Amino acid sequence: MNDSALHSFPIFDERPTTEYIDRWRQFISETGVPEDFEGVSTSKPNRSANVILLSDEIRVPTAMRPGGARVPCPLCSPTAPKFGTGRMAYFPDDRATRFIGHRCAKHYLGDNYVEAERIFRIEAKCAEIIALWPKLQSRATEIDAIVNRIYGKARKLTELRNIIDIQAPGFASFLYNDLVAKGMLISTSRDVRAQSHKVLGMEFFSSDFEPETAAAKLLRVRTDVRRALPSWSISDGEGEASREIVKRGSSAIRRLRELPALRDLIANSADFFAARNLRALEQWRATGASPFSSLTFKIDGERIETFAESYAGRYNWSVIFPKDLIAHLPTRDEIDALGLLEVIN
């Protein structure tokens, strides 16, 4: 091919339609010759040309091409074989579409390509969220039910932690830091051959234990999912509709992804209050290996009264821990049954 064989089709007053792009994509997969599709220019654009990317990277089946040659690049090598993977692009300045080598495009077009890539990512994200939304809406009732149950438990555990922090300031961090340093493993007997006990539920005393905050964000998401997204077209770029879609969609995806972990956090942290766990901590104190000179958990029905003394101070707290606090907590199976992972991966 020589320069005179290059094609220039200044026929696109606006970016090509999705229908055109889909047919072009199909043509590439069937022929391996992206530059032969109707209306595609092979001429060289100006280095300062504005560019709009129409596709992600497309691997061209070059084996289908005459001689199996690579694709010429309109930017750097219009007449000689150059690349096997490229992108569809629209050049509004000369109203042309071209199939360009994705590696050299950044070099050749510079900042305009970087900007086009940034906008392309926004467009792709919006399209992904718009496709996702009806799937979430069709599950809204089930999501509601699960999120409500999780929120109730999260609020109760946060309340218990707040009571302890108010009644016994410093207890949480003292116990947490000491046990983290020990990998949560304590000895419950002076017998050195005895197995160590893994303290359960220490998440409850972590400084960032805020399940209610996380659950409240989920409440907002489950309400938001019921609202329609703004109308959008791909040419909105980074306009107001795109920004709203990305913001709401990203938030929904992030929070719903965290749902199983939040459920586990609630289940695990409640384990701290299991009688067996509290007994193990008392036995640990009795071995003399703990930093406590005194540590007792008096269980009276649902009330748990704690007295602790260490070199760091004396702590006394008392809470009602409802026996059914984690009853009716959604199971992992119930959350899996929502099918969220299939739609928000």
Pairing of strands 197-198, 77-83: unpaired
- For residue 263, count other CB atoms closer than 10 A to its CB: 23
Contact window for Zn ion (CB under 5 A) among 23-31, 99-107, 117-125, 256-264: 99-107
Q: Does 101 bind Zn ion (CB under 5 A)?
A: yes
Nearer to Zn ion, 75 or 136 (CB): 75
Q: Does 326 bind Zn ion (CB under 5 A)?
A: no
The whole-angstrom separation of Cα 273 and Cα 110 is 60
Nearer to Zn ion, 100 or 295 (CB): 100
Q: Does 49 bind Zn ion (CB under 5 A)?
A: no
Q: Does 81 bind Zn ion (CB under 5 A)?
A: no
Contacts of residue 233, defined as CB under 8 A and 6 or more positions apart, other chains included, come to none
- Residue 184 Rama label (left phi>0; alpha psi -120 to 50; beta): left
> Shortest gap between Cβ of 101 and Zn ion (angstroms)?
4
Contacts of residue 236, defined as CB under 8 A and 6 or more positions apart, other chains included, come to 126, 242
Q: Does 104 bind Zn ion (CB under 5 A)?
A: yes
- In the complex, residue closest to Zn ion by CB: 73
Nearer to Zn ion, 42 or 306 (CB): 42
Four-residue CA torsion sign, 255, 260, 263, 265: negative
Q: Does 85 bind Zn ion (CB under 5 A)?
A: no
Q: Does 73 bind Zn ion (CB under 5 A)?
A: yes
Q: What Rg value do the Cα atoms of the chain yield, rounded?
A: 31
> Shortest gap between Cβ of 78 and Zn ion (angstroms)?
9
Q: How distant, in Å, are the alpha carbons of 286, 289, 311 from that of 190?
A: 9, 9, 22
Contact window for Zn ion (CB under 5 A) among 45-53, 93-101, 134-142, 287-295: 93-101
Binding site for Zn ion (CB under 5 A): 73, 75-76, 101, 104
